[in-house]
Amino acid sequence: MLVSAPASGQGKTSVTAALARWHTRQGRRVAVFKAGADFLDPLVTGRAAGVTAYQLDLWMGGEADVRARLFAAAARADLILVEGMAGLFDGAPSSADLALACRLPVLAVIDGSAMAETFGAVVSGLAHHREGVRLYGVAANRIGGDHHARLLRGSLPADVRWLGALPRDPALALPERHLGLVAAGELRDLEVRLDALAAAWEPGADTALPPAVAFAAAAPAPVPAVLRGRRIAVARDAAFCFLYPANLDLLRDAGARLAFFSPLAGDALPGCDAVWLPGGYPELHLDVLSRRGDLFAALRAHRDAGKPILAECGGMLCLLDRLAGADGHSAPMAALLRGCAVVGERLAALGLQQVALPEGTLRGHTFHHARAGVAAVPVARATNPNGAPSREAVYRDRRLTASFVHFYFPSNPDAAVRLFLP
């Protein structure tokens, strides 16, 4: 079932998490996915189901990648939940495109806090806006009580099921900041919140599973085993947390051994053949990172030895001379890439990205609040398939590759693994 909505902010993640935790409590095996490029929502919904939540994107990964992941999930799960992105028909490709391509029934999550009969009109519009998209059911979010729920339920068209509701309760809200939800690993009470969501969902929940969907046999694209015997150091903590699980799987499938380390915890750079500095929130940890001169020196020696480094978004910001946060506080960074950046409160770039690199063409996305001045000539510049203005530069110094782009490695496995070769 695809969990979507008429707009962002309606409560898709909360309802997906409530469904995942509630069905898991009933003894069902639940697989969870996220439509689109988002890193943060799947960390929450995956925790709710006790599984790793993967991304599904018809453009970044391609339809074959999507079908292979759904086919594999169907072999092990009783219920597959796919949280949509933005509004049901927003974007290209949209959540509706995914529902059509894979014949997924749709659950619409609607904030009913300020509605009664109009709730049914919104549902009717979603149900009939695009031929072939099947609106199976609806869930109301932020309802005022049992009477309010009855009013909303009574407004529905006869062919749309009422699947449940969540009350208007600040205790059920998932904390947010710039770029989306607070990362799951930073929420010490996340399990309590997820249990509360499931408990709030239970009283009015439809206990039936959505209709079964059959997926044709599909296999992921082959991954060249050219990283066998090579060790890749991967930064992973609250400052470097934007990691697609599919990217990690692909590196392992290519034969790499992954060595995770935490710059914030004071970990030294592990002995390695390549380094990956993913995106995250370095701007929230400026003082801690600025004291990591030992790590910065190790990264510089690694770069100077001609060994690969991939630095994405926050990882790239950490390699600049200086980085400032929205509060104006700044601190020196690694100085492997000449330039400075400021992370502000307003969105600076958003959109799908495709980059033709010497290793091959990779797809991904950009989403950040940073404005950077980099004193280097780009080796490549991304294009945007939707004609949006965000077209990120990619910088190269020996085997260091740095950009605001978050690459989705399965978009071109051969090109992705070559980023980690000398």
Q: In one letter, which amino acid is 250?
A: L
Residue 125 burial (CB < 10 Å; 0-12/13-18/19+)? exposed
Nearest to 247 by CA among 382, 362, 386: 362
Which candidate, 330, 364, 357, places its Cα nearest to that of 344?
A: 330
Structural element, H or E, at residue 318? helix 314-318
Q: Where are the beta strands (DSSP E) in 262-348?
A: 274-277, 309-312, 322-324, 330-332, 339-343
**3-state class (DSSP) for residue 219:** coil
- Residue 319 near residue 336, CB atoms below 8 Å: yes
Residues 109 and 198: their CA atoms lie apart, in Å, by 16
CB of 24 closer than 8 Å to CB of 30:
yes
Helices within 202-253 (DSSP H only): 245-253
Q: Which residue has the tokens 């939540």?
A: 53
User: Cα separation of 41 and 45, whole Å?
Assistant: 6
Compute the distance between CA of residue 352 and CA of residue 59 in angstroms, rounded to an integer.
8
**What is the helix (H) or strand (E) element at residue 108, kind and residue range?**
strand 106-111
Q: From the candidates 102, 241, 272, 313, which is the catalytic residue?
A: 313
CA pair distance 220, 400, nearest whole angstrom: 28
- CA separation for the pair 91, 73 (Å, rounded): 25
Residue of 272, 392, 376, 267 whose CA lies nearest to 320: 376
41 φ/ψ angles, rounded to the nearest 5 degrees: -55, -45
Examine the residue annotation and report whether 241 is marked as an active-site residue of this protein: no
CA dist list (Å): 85 to 73, 92, 134: 20, 11, 17
Q: CA 110, CA 7: separation in Å to the nearest integer?
A: 8
Give the separation between CA 298 and CA 305, rounded to whole angstroms.
11
Give yes or no for a contact between 58 and 97, defined as CB atoms under 8 angstroms apart.
Answer: yes
The residues assigned a catalytic role are: 313
